[in-house]
C-alpha cells in the first residue's frame, strides 16, 4: 500500500448494487469523487456516482480508463471476475487484495481457511459429481444443505436435503456443478461480526450483531446482541484472525451459527460491508461504509462504538403492497429509512432497510416490533 488518497481524488468501486451506492455516498461525504464500474446501465450505485463506467468486466479499454482515474479501488460484489481484479491490481491500489476475494468467492476456500485458523466451519464435504453428492450424503445425512461452491447469495443456490427423494432431486438439478454439502445445524442463534482493518494493521470491530433470517434472506439485525462476553470475545477473535491471515484492508463481515447444543460454527465471510452492518449507519459513531472509505483512502479508521441500541429491518419487495407505508414509519422518532433507488419492487428483492434506534434495548425492541407490524413482514425472533 502507498500513501493516502486526498479528498478531491477518485475512489473506485467495482459493482453497482446498494453496497456500492452506500459506499459512494459515504466517500462523497469525505470529499472524494467516486467512480462506479458496473455493466448495467442503471444501477443503485451508478445513479449516485460522480462517474459510471457502464461496461463489461472484460472491456479492458474501459477498465483501464477506470484504473487510470481512480487512486484506489474496492469491490462491492464478490463475483467480479478474478481476471478483472488482477487487471485492476496491476494498475492501481486494490483493497481488499485479490487473495481475499479468491478466498471469499469459494465456500470450499473459506471453510479450508477457517479450519486452518481453528475457527471451525459446519461439518462439510466438497462435491463435483452425483457420486460425490451421494457419498457426502452417506457421511453427513440425513439432514443437510447443499450449496453451490460459488455465486450463492441470499439463500440462492442452496438445496435442503432431508430424504433420499430430495437427494435424487438435488442430484438431477446440480449434476457436476461444484458444491459443498453441510450438515444442517439445529440453530439457536445467528451472529455476525463486521470489522474494518487499515493498511497499518489497525482494526476497528463493531459489536457482535444478532441476525434473523427468513427463507435464507436476512430479515433483522439487532445490537446489542444476546451474546455473552465470552461468546463475543470468541466471535470477535475469530473475525480478527481471519482478517489478519488475509492481510485484509477494508471492511469485512463474518457470519456465525450457534447450535442448540451450544456449539459455535463459522459460516461464511464477506469481503465487503455486509447487510448485517447496515445498522451502523444510525447506531454507531462511524458507519461501515465510512470505515470502508477511510480504509481504502488510507485515512485513520473511525470509532466503531455503538451509541444507540439499534434494530435493522430489511425492506424487501414484499413490503410494497402496493407502496411502502412510509408515512407511518417516518412519523416515529428513531426510525430511519434507507432506500436504494430500485424501480421494481419484486418479492425477495432488497429495496432498502430501516434502522430503528432508541435509548434502551427494551425501547428499540418495541419500536422494531411496531415497524415490523406496520410493514407486515414477520418477527424479530427466530423460529
Ligand atoms: P448466503 O450466501 O446465501 O448468505 P448462507 O450459507 O449464509 O448463504 O445461508 C443463508 C442462511 O441459511 C443462513 O444464514 C442460515 O439461516 C441458513 N443456513 C445455511 N446453512 C445452514 C446450515 N448448515 N444449517 C442450518 N441453517 C443453515
Ligand atoms: Mg450468509
* pLDDT tens-digit readout, 127-145: 999 999 999 999 999 999 9
Given the CA of residue 155, which atom of ligand 1 is nearest to it?
Answer: 3
Residues, CB within 5 angstroms of ligand 2 (ion): 255
- 187 in ligand 1 pocket by Cβ < 6 Å? yes
262 within 8 A of 231, measured Cβ to Cβ:
no
| Helix H or strand E segment including 337 | strand 335-339
Which residue has the CA at smallest separation from atom 9 of ligand 1? 155
Does the pTM exceed 0.85?
Answer: yes
Q: Is 75 helix (H, G, I), strand (E, B) or coil?
A: strand
324 within 8 A of 282, measured Cβ to Cβ:
no
Concatenating the DSSP letter of every residue in 116-130 gives HHT-PPPSEEEE-SH
Give me the mean pLDDT over the 251-263 stretch: 97
Given the CA of residue 157, which atom of ligand 1 is nearest to it?
Answer: 3
Residue 378 has pLDDT above 80, yes or no: no
For 304-337, write each residue's pLDDT tens digit: 999 999 999 999 998 887 788 999 999 999 999 9
DSSP state of 351: E
Residue 161 has pLDDT above 90, yes or no: yes
Given the CA of residue 265, which atom of ligand 1 is nearest to it?
Answer: 23
Residues 6+ apart with CB under 8 A from 229: none
Amino acid at each position: 500500500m502507498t500513501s493516502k488518497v486526498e479528498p478531491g481524488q477518485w475512489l473506485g468501486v467495482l459493482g453497482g448494487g446498494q453496497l456500492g451506492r452506500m459506499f459512494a455516498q459515504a466517500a462523497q461525504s469525505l470529499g472524494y469523487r467516486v467512480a462506479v464500474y458496473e455493466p448495467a446501465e442503471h444501477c443503485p450505485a451508478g445513479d449516485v456516482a460522480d462517474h459510471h463506467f457502464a461496461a463489461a468486466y472484460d472491456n479492458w479499454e474501459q477498465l483501464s480508463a477506470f484504473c487510470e482515474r481512480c487512486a484506489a479501488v474496492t469491490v462491492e460484489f464478490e463475483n467480479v471476475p478474478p481476471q478483472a481484479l488482477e487487471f485492476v491490481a496491476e494498475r492501481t491500489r486494490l483493497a481488499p487484495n485479490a487473495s481475499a476475494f479468491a478466498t471469499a468467492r469459494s465456500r470450499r476456500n473459506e471453510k479450508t481457511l477457517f479450519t486452518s485458523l481453528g475457527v471451525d466451519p459446519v461439518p462439510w464435504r466438497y462435491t463435483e459429481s452425483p457420486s460425490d453428492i451421494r457419498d457426502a450424503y452417506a457421511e453427513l445425512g440425513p439432514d443437510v444443505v447443499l450449496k453451490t461452491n460459488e455465486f450463492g447469495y441470499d439463500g440462492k443456490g442452496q438445496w435442503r436435503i432431508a430424504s433420499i427423494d430430495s437427494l435424487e432431486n438435488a442430484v438431477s438439478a446440480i449434476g457436476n456443478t461444484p458444491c459443498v454439502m453441510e450438515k444442517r445445524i439445529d440453530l439457536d442463534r445467528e451472529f455476525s461480526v463486521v470489522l474494518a482493518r487499515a493498511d497499518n494493521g489497525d482494526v476497528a470491530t463493531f459489536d457482535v450483531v444478532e441476525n434473523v433470517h427468513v427463507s435464507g434472506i436476512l430479515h433483522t439485525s439487532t445490537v446489542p446482541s444476546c451474546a455473552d462476553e465470552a461468546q463475543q470475545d470468541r466471535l470477535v477473535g475469530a473475525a480478527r484472525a481471519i482478517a489478519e491471515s488475509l492481510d485484509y484492508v477494508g471492511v469485512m463481515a463474518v457470519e456465525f451459527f450457534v447450535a442448540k447444543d451450544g456449539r459455535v460454527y463459522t459460516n461464511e465471510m464477506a469481503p465487503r460491508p455486509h447487510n448485517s452492518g447496515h445498522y451502523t449507519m444510525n447506531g454507531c459513531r462511524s458507519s461501515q461504509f465510512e470505515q470502508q472509505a477511510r480504509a481504502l483512502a488510507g485515512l485513520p479508521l473511525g470509532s466503531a462504538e455503538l451509541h444507540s441500541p439499534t434494530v435493522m429491518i430489511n425492506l424487501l419487495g414484499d413490503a410494497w403492497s402496493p407502496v411502502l407505508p412510509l408515512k407511518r414509519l417516518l412519523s416515529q422518532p428513531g426510525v430511519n429509512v434507507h432506500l436504494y433507488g430500485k424501480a421494481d419492487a419484486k418479492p425477495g428483492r432488497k429495496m432498502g432497510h430501516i434502522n430503528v434506534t432508541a435509548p434502551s434495548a427494551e425501547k428499540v425492541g418495541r419500536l422494531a416490533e411496531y415497524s415490523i407490524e406496520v410493514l407486515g413482514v414477520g418477527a424479530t425472533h427466530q423460529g
